[in-house]
Structures are given as C-alpha cells and as structure tokens.
Amino acid sequence: MSKTTETIFSKIIRREIPADIVYEDNLALAFKDIHPQAPIHIIVIPKKPIPTLADAESQDHALLGHLLLTAKRVAKEAGLEKGYRVVINTGDDGGQTVHHLHVHILGGRQLNWPPG
Ligand code: AMP
C-alpha cells in the first residue's frame, strides 16, 4: 500500500501547525492527541514518513524498536505507573485515519478489552 506520505503529522514535525509536543529526538516525536480517548493519550511518530506499519521494511527494524522504547519512556514520564495500552492502527480495517505510522499511548483509566 502506498498512500501519500505528506500528512498532518508531517506538518507537526515541521512546526507548521501547533501540537502539544512532549518528547522529541532525532528519530521520533511525541505529542498529545487532539481528540483524547483516555485521560492520557499521546501519539509517538517516527520523523521518517512511513505511511503504515504494513509499509515498514526490514531496514526500519531499529526505528520500530526506538518507537516502542520512546512509548515506554513517554508513558513513564506521563505517570502511567498503573499501566497503559499501546496501539498501532494499521490500514482501513485497522481504523487508521492518518497515513503516517504512529503509536497511540492510552492510559489514566481502566481500558476495556476487546476494543471495538
Ligand atoms: P489513527 O486513527 O490511528 O490514524 O489516529 C490518528 C490520531 O491522530 C487520532 O487519534 C487523532 O485524534 C489524532 N490527530 C489528528 N490530527 C491531530 C493533530 N493535529 N494533533 C494531534 N493529534 C491529531
């Protein structure tokens, strides 16, 4: 699948639109979700514009690991010591709406399972 890699998240990386950024390094950026689904809802993205997890390649393996370790770091800094959920919506059936790979961190309340 190959959808455009220019998304609203690209604009956030370039600071063309505002976002509540909570973490940044040379590979990744984390910011608060504009429509939070839990008391804490943070998005972690790679700066590299990979459209979806399905588009990630073997050369991205270190970057994917970095995203999860960044999610762990951001969750800890957000005080989610009781736990949290990490979600990567992928493609249309996965409910992905922004086609720039991103990791959701959700926490601050008891989350239900299974998700809808
Ligand atoms: P997904 O449905 O997995 O593609 O998630 C996209 C997420 O991006 C949704 O939870 C949106 O609320 C969030 N989102 C979209 N635009 C923005 C924005 N400008 N700033 C922060 N979060 C956004």
Beta bridge mates, 31: 21, 43
pTM of the entire predicted model: 0.96
- C-alpha span between 28 and 77 (Å, rounded): 16
- pLDDT reported for residue 5: 73
Q: Indicate whether 80 belongs to any domain.
A: yes
Asked if residue 13 lies in contact with residue 45, where contact means CB atoms within 8 angstroms, the answer is yes
- pLDDT reported for residue 3: 53
What residue owns the CA closest to ligand 1's atom 15? 34
- pLDDT reported for residue 51: 98
- pLDDT reported for residue 13: 98
Q: Indicate whether 54 belongs to any domain.
A: yes
Number of domains in the chain: 1
Task: Give the domain CATH number at 18.
Answer: 3.30.428.10
Q: Indicate whether 87 belongs to any domain.
A: yes
Could you tell me the residue range of the domain that residue 43 belongs to? 8-107
- pLDDT reported for residue 1: 44
Q: Tell me, using a 6 A CB cutoff, whether residue 18 lines ligand 1.
A: no
Task: Report residue 9: phi and psi, to 5°.
Answer: -70, -30
Going residue by residue through the chain, which has 116 residues, state the pLDDT in tens, using 9 for 90 and above.
Answer: 445 579 999 999 999 999 999 999 999 999 999 999 999 999 999 999 999 999 999 999 999 999 999 999 999 999 999 999 999 999 999 999 999 999 999 999 999 999 98
Q: Tell me, using a 6 A CB cutoff, whether residue 7 lines ligand 1.
A: no
| Ligand 1 closest atom vs CA 12 | 19
Q: Indicate whether 113 belongs to any domain.
A: no
